[in-house]
């Protein structure tokens, strides 16, 4: 039987594999020698706890995936969706691996359940990156200070940061020296009563209010110290900054 699909170029086949569940993309390696190592060159990796019955299965899959991926090829984007309570141990490990791949774009969506107390020491600190350009971190609407973001290492290439219901320490933005675009939904800066957004190169800032009383725009005063700012967008707020 003529296998026309295998006759396609690697670029086309990788686009096809990028459209299916990552588990099935890896399983394509058994189709023929032509497909055996193709999945190791996927430019985009998307992992979700919804695709695994247990965290143990997810952990084993991640070990297989990350140990066999072709690290000579760049990883353009990494997406992680955690929807199982107490999945932070596996999640932290996956995130650390993702940042080590010199990835351009990381998107992390945390949906754990009703209790977030165990996440404070686990997801508070992110490993730095010299190549990451775009970072998105989001979680369900609730108290935005249940996850507080910080980092001891720089994100020297990061230009775009989107945070949804996540707080961050005053010094976190200073770890992103080339940040240009910042979007905050239901977030706040931890520290003093007067919240401050300070960055010398920030040019686009979006602040969106949530129903949470403790979010950034819920405070009385917001100091914006951004000498290069060109665009400021404030949504869901009728007061005065």
pLDDT tens per residue, range 97-140: 777 778 899 998 876 544 444 444 344 567 888 889 999 988 87
Question: What pLDDT sits at residue 226?
Answer: 92
Task: Kindly report, residue by residue over 215-240, the tens digit of the pLDDT.
Answer: 665 555 678 889 999 999 988 765 44
Looking up tokens 């690290």, which residue turns up?
71
Per-residue pLDDT at 102: 81
| pLDDT at position 74 | 80
Beta bridge partners of 181: 160, 204
pLDDT value of position 166: 83
Q: Is this prediction's pTM over 0.85?
A: no
Q: What is the mean pLDDT of each run of 10 residues along the chain (241 residues)?
A: 72 87 87 87 86 80 82 84 68 75 86 46 66 89 66 91 85 92 87 75 89 59 87 72 49
Distance (Å, rounded) from C-alpha 4 to C-alpha 193?
65
| Beta-sheet strand order (sheet of 148-149) | 148-149, 167-169, 189-190
> What is the helix (H) or strand (E) element at residue 62, kind and residue range?
helix 55-68
Predicted local confidence at residue 117, as pLDDT:
43
Alpha helices in 101-192 (DSSP H): 120-123
Selection from 143, 73, 84 nearest residue 109 by Cα: 84
Q: Which two tokens stand for residue 189?
A: 């800066």
pLDDT given at position 84: 63
* pLDDT confidence of residue 59: 76
What is residue 114's predicted lDDT score, i.e. its pLDDT? 41
Q: Which two tokens stand for residue 202?
A: 């920030």
Tokens of 19: 């459209």
Given this model, what pLDDT does residue 122 score?
42
Token pair recorded at residue 40: 């190791």
Q: Report the pLDDT value the prediction gives residue 120, as an integer from 0 to 100.
A: 42
Q: Phi and psi at residue 15, in whole multiples of 5°?
A: -65, -40
User: What residue spans define the domains of the chain?
Assistant: 1-42, 44-235
Residue 191: strand, helix, or coil: coil
Q: What is residue 113's predicted lDDT score, i.e. its pLDDT?
A: 47
Cα separation, 128 vs 160, whole angstroms: 15
């Amino acid at each position: 039987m003529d296998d026309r699909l295998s006759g396609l170029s690697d670029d086309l086949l990788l686009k096809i594999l990028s459209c299916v569940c990552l588990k099935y993309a890896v399983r394509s390696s058994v189709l023929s020698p032509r497909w055996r190592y193709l999945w190791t060159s996927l430019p985009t990796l998307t992992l979700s706890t919804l695709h695994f019955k247990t965290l143990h299965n997810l952990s084993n899959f991640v070990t297989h995936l990350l140990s066999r991926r072709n690290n000579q090829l760049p990883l353009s984007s990494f997406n992680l969706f955690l929807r199982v309570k107490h999945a932070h141990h596996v999640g932290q490990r996956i995130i650390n691996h993702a940042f080590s791949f010199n990835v351009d774009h990381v998107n992390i969506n945390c949906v754990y359940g009703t209790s977030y107390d165990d996440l404070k020491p686990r997801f508070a600190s992110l490993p730095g990156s010299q190549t990451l350009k775009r970072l998105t971190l989001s979680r369900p609407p609730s108290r935005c200070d249940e996850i507080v973001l910080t980092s001891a290492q720089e994100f020297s290439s990061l230009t775009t940061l989107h945070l949804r219901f996540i707080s961050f320490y005053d010094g976190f933005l200073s770890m992103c020296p080339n940040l240009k675009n910042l979007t905050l939904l239901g977030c706040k800066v931890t520290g003093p009563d007067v919240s401050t957004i300070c960055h010398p190169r920030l040019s686009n800032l979006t602040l969106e209010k949530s129903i949470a009383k403790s979010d950034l725009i819920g405070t009385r005063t917001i100091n914006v110290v951004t000498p290069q700012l060109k665009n400021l967008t404030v949504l869901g707020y009728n007061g005065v900054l």
